[in-house]
Amino acid sequence: MTLSGRTIIPLFFFVAASYFLYRVNEVLLPFLLAAVLAYLFNPLVRFFEVRGLRRRPVVVLLYASVMTVITLASYKLAWVAAVEAEEAAHNMPAYVQKGGEAFTRLRGSLKSDWTHDDGRPFETLAHRLFANLALFDYVAEHGKTWPAEVLSRMPSFALGILPVLEIAFLVPFIGFFLIQEGPRLRDHVLGWVPSRYVEMVLGLMVEVDNSLGKYVRGLSLECLCVGCIALAGFWVIGLDYAVQIAVVVGLANVVPYVGPVMGILLGGGVALFQWGSALGVLKVLLVCGAVRFIEDWFIQPTVMRSSVHLHPAIIVFSLMSGAKLFGFWGLLFAVPIACMVKVLLDVLWPWYRAQYGLAGPAPLPEVSRIPLI
Amino acid sequence: MLHWIRNFVLDPEFNRKRKFLQRISLFQGISRREFGHLFQALVIRSYAPGEILFHEGDVGRALFILESGRVEISRETAGGAIAQLAILNPGDYFGEMSLLDERPRSATAAAMDPVRVHLLYKTELEKLVRHVPHIGAAIMTHLGMLLAARLRSITDSVPVSLASTVKLKGVL
Per-residue pLDDT reduced to its tens digit, B31-47: 888 888 888 889 999 99
CA B87/CA B17 separation, integer angstroms: 23
**B169 pLDDT exceeds 50?**
no
How many whole angstroms from its chain centre is CA A64? 26
DSSP B26: G
Chain A positions touching B129 (Cβ under 8 A) are: none
Q: What is the pLDDT of residue A139?
A: 60
Q: For A24-54, where are the alpha helices, taking DSSP H only? A: 25-49
**B56 pLDDT exceeds 50?**
yes
Q: What is the pLDDT of residue A163?
A: 67
Sign for the CA dihedral angle at A277, A281, A287, A289 comes to: negative
- Comparing alpha-carbon positions, the chain B residue that sits nearest to A203 is B121
Residue ranges of chain A with pLDDT lower than 50?
none
Q: In what order do the strands lie in the sheet containing B115-121?
A: B42-47, B115-121, B62-68, B93-94
- Comparing alpha-carbon positions, the chain B residue that sits nearest to A191 is B45
CA B34/CA A255 separation, integer angstroms: 38
Q: What is the pLDDT of residue B68?
A: 93
Q: What is the pLDDT of residue A373?
A: 56
Q: Which long-range contacts (CB under 8 A, 24 or more apart) does B84-89 make?
A: B87/B112
A210 with A183: CB under 8 angstroms?
Answer: no
Span of A250-254, A299-303, B23-27, B146-150 with lowest mean pLDDT: A299-303
Q: Work out the minimum CA distance from A196 to partner chain B, whole angstroms.
A: 6
The answer to whether A52 contacts B44, with C-beta atoms less than 8 Å apart, is: no
A116 in contact with chain B, both atoms CB, cutoff 8 A: no
A206 with B123: CB under 8 angstroms?
Answer: yes
pLDDT per residue as tens digits for the range B63-93: 999 999 999 999 988 888 888 889 999 999 9
How much is the pTM?
0.70
Q: What is the pLDDT of residue B161?
A: 56
The CA–CA distances, whole Å, from B9 to A160, B6, B16 equal: 43, 5, 15
Q: What is the pLDDT of residue B49?
A: 93
B53 in contact with chain A, both atoms CB, cutoff 8 A: yes
Amino acid identity of residue A68, one-letter, is T
| B36 → closest Cβ in A52, A355, A364 | A52
Q: Work out the minimum CA distance from A355 to partner chain B, whole angstroms.
A: 7
Chain A positions touching B52 (Cβ under 8 A) are: 195-196
Amino acid identity of residue A265, one-letter, is L
The answer to whether B51 contacts A195, with C-beta atoms less than 8 Å apart, is: yes
Q: Which fold has domain B2-158?
A: Jelly Rolls (2.60.120)
Give the residue among A275, A346, A283 at the shortest CA–CA distance from A310: A346
Q: What is the pLDDT of residue A181?
A: 85
The CA–CA distances, whole Å, from A27 to A23, A40, A159, A340, A365 equal: 9, 21, 20, 20, 51
CA A181/CA B69 separation, integer angstroms: 27
| B151 → closest Cβ in A46, A49, A372 | A372
Other beta carbons within 10 Å of A126: 14
Mean pLDDT to the nearest integer, B117-141: 89
Mean pLDDT to the nearest integer, B142-155: 85
**B22 pLDDT exceeds 60?**
yes
Q: Work out the minimum CA distance from A329 to partner chain B, whole angstroms.
A: 31
Q: Work out the minimum CA distance from B35 to partner chain A, whole angstroms.
A: 7
